[in-house]
Copies of this chain bind each other. A is one copy, B any other.
Amino acid sequence: MSDLAERAARLDADDPLADRRDLFDLDDGVIYLDGNSLGALPRHVPARVADVLTRQWGRMRIRSWTEGGWWDAPERIGERIAPLIGAAPGHVVVGDSTSVNVFRAVISALRMTPGRTEILVDATTFPTDGYIAASAARLAGATVRAVHPAEVSGALSGDTAVALLNHVDYRSGRLHDMGTLTDAVHEAGARVVWDLSHSAGALPVDIGSHNVDFAVGCTYKYLNGGPGAPAFFAIRPDLLPRLDQPLGGWCSHRDPFAMDTEYVAADGIAKARAGTPEIVSLLTLDAALDVWDGVDLRQLRAKSLALTEFFVDCVNQLAPAARSVTPAGEDRGSQVSLSCVDAERVMAELVARGVVGDHRPPDLLRFGFTPLYTRFADALRAAEILGEILA
C-alpha cells in the first residue's frame, strides 16, 4: 500500500462523518466531485416527495395549503437553514431563485441607503449576481462598479450604497473573510449582501456574529436540495422592520386571504416572499435537509479542509501537470480548482472514467468536496485517474 493509500485509509477510518455517506445514493461507483454544482440525492427523498404528490396533492388537494404545511413552507424551511448559515431564527425564508433573491436584496439595500448611488460588485462573482446588480442599478438610478474582493475596502466611499460579495469564489474556491469585509462596508455606512451559494453547507457560516445585512444563496449545491432547488434570503433582525422589497406579492401580504387591493407587508420574514411558493421543489428541499440533523459544522469544516488538502497532496504527487489555484488552509472553501492544459478535454476524459467534476473556461478543472459524502479514498482515486490522463 502506498503512503497516500495508507493515509486515505486512516483518514476515512477516523472520519466522524463517515456514516453520513450512507444517506446518499452513491451506489453506482462514480466518484462524484461535483456537489458544488449539484449535490447528490439523499436516499430518502423520493419516498418523501411521493407522499407530497400522492397524498398531499392527490388526496388532501387544496386542504394541504392550510392543513398540510404548504402555506408556511418557505418560512419553516428557512428555519432549518438558519443554523447552517448562522442566521437568527425567524429571519430566513426560502423561495425563488438566487438571481431573484439578489435582486430583492440589492434593491432593498439601496432603499436603506438613500442618497448613495454606487453598488460595488465582486469582480470575481458568479456572473448572475453582476447581471442582476446592473439591472437593479438601472431601475434604481444607481451605478455598478466591479472590484476585486481584495480591493473592496479601498473602493468603499461615502457614495457606496451596497456591496454584493461572494463568500467563496466559484472559480478559484477562495473563501473570503466575511467579518473583515462586512466591518469595512459598515464603517463606510453601506450595506452588504453576501452570496453564500458556495459556502452554505460546505462550512460553518455565521452571518449573525458578523452582523451581515443580507445573505442569499442556492440550496442545490452543498445543501443537496435537488436541481434548481429554491434559494434562501436572510436578513439581519434589526433590518427586518425596514425591509422594503421590490417583489411583494400576495404571499408577502399581512393578510393574504383578505384579498385587499392595498399592499401591506407582513410583519415577519414572510414579507420577503412574493407569489405562490413552488411547493414540489420546496418540499423536496425540506426532505433533503434531514441529512443535516445532528451534524457538527466544526467537524464538517475539519473534514473539508483535510479532504481538500489531501487531494492537493495527491495531485502534486500523482498528477503534477495540474496545478492547484485554490488557496490553502482557512482561505479555502470546499473545492479545489486545478489549472491544466486542455482542461475541457481532460474533464471529459475524467467523466468518461467515472470521476465527475466540471470545467470552467478556459483552463480550470473544478472539484467539489462535499464533506457529508466524499471519502479520502475518492480524492486519491480521482488524483490517480487524473494522473493517468495527464501522463
Interface residues of A (CB under 8 A from B): 25, 28, 30, 32, 34, 37-38, 40-41, 45-46, 49-50, 53-54, 56-59, 61-65, 70, 96-100, 103, 107, 123, 126-128, 130-132, 134-135, 139-140, 146, 218, 220, 226-231, 246-251, 253, 257-261, 263, 274-282, 284, 351, 356, 358, 360-361
Report Cα–Cα, A260/B100, bound state, in Å: 19
CB of A131 within 8 A of CB of B37, answer no
List the B side residues contacting A275 at CB < 8 Å: 96-100, 128, 231
Residue of A54, A135, A139, A228 with highest tally of chain B CB at under 10 A: A228
**Are A107 and B139 closer than 8 Å at their CB atoms?**
yes
Q: How far does the alpha carbon of A312 sit from the alpha carbon of B252 in the complex, in Å?
A: 36
Distance in angstroms from A37 CB to nearest chain B CB is: 5
Q: List 15 additional contacts besides A57-B226, A99-B275, A103-B247; criterion CB under 8 Å.
A: A49-B49, A62-B356, A63-B351, A63-B356, A70-B228, A97-B249, A126-B259, A127-B259, A127-B261, A130-B261, A131-B263, A134-B263, A135-B263, A139-B139, A259-B360
Given the complex of chains A and B, what is the CA–CA distance between A45 and B63 in angstroms?
20
Set B247, B257, B261: member contacting A123, Cβ < 8 A? B261
Question: Is the pair A356, B107 in contact by a Cβ cutoff of 8 Å?
Answer: no
8 Å CB contact of A227 from B97, B140, B279, B360: B279
The smallest C-beta distance from A231 to any residue of chain B, in angstroms, reads: 7
Cβ distance A358 to chain B, nearest Cβ, rounded Å: 7
| Distance (whole angstroms) from the CB of A38 to the closest CB of chain B | 5
- Give the most central of A103, A248, A280: most B CB within 10 Å: A280
Q: Is A59 within 8 A of B246, CB to CB? A: no
Q: Known: A64-B227, A127-B260, A231-B275. Contact between A49 and B53, CB under 8 A?
A: yes
Q: Is the CB of B280 within 8 A of A132?
A: no
Find out whether the CB atom of B127 lies under 8 angstroms from the CB atom of A227: no
- Give the distance to chain B from A172, nearest Cβ to Cβ, in Å: 13
Q: Which residues of B contact A247 (CB under 8 A)?
A: 99-100, 103, 132, 135
| This chain's copy number in the assembly | 2
Q: Which of B38, B64, B139, B251 contacts A140 (CB 8 A)?
A: B139
Question: A228-B277, A281-B280 known; A38 and B53 CB under 8 Å?
Answer: no
Residues on B with beta carbons closer than 8 Å to the beta carbon of A130: 261, 263
Inter-chain contact B280/A361, CB cutoff 8 Å: no
Q: Which residues of B contact A54 (CB under 8 A)?
A: 25, 41, 46
Please tell me which one of the listed residues B58, B127, B249 contacts residue A253 in the complex, with CB atoms under 8 A apart. B127
Residue of chain B at shortest CB distance from A24: B58
Chain B nearest CB, measured from A93 CB (Å):
14
Most chain B CB within a 10 A radius of its CB, from A131, A253, A257: A131
Quick check: A62 and B49 within 8 Å, CB to CB?
A: no
Question: A227 touching B57 by the CB < 8 A rule?
Answer: yes
Q: With a CB–CB cut-off of 8 A, which chain B residues contact A37? A: 62
CB pair A220–B34 under 8 Å, yes or no, is no
In the A-B complex, the 3 residue pairs with the closest CB atoms: A97-B275, A99-B275, A99-B249
**Closest Cβ of chain B: how far from A4's Cβ, in Å?**
26
| B100 in contact with A226 (CB, 8 Å) | no
> What B residues does A227 contact at CB under 8 A?
56-57, 64-65, 70, 279-280
CB–CB A32/B61 < 8 A:
yes
Between A and B, 18 residue pairs with Cβ closer than 8 Å are A25-B54, A34-B61, A38-B61, A46-B50, A46-B53, A46-B54, A56-B227, A57-B227, A62-B358, A64-B227, A70-B228, A98-B275, A100-B274, A131-B250, A226-B280, A228-B279, A231-B275, A257-B361
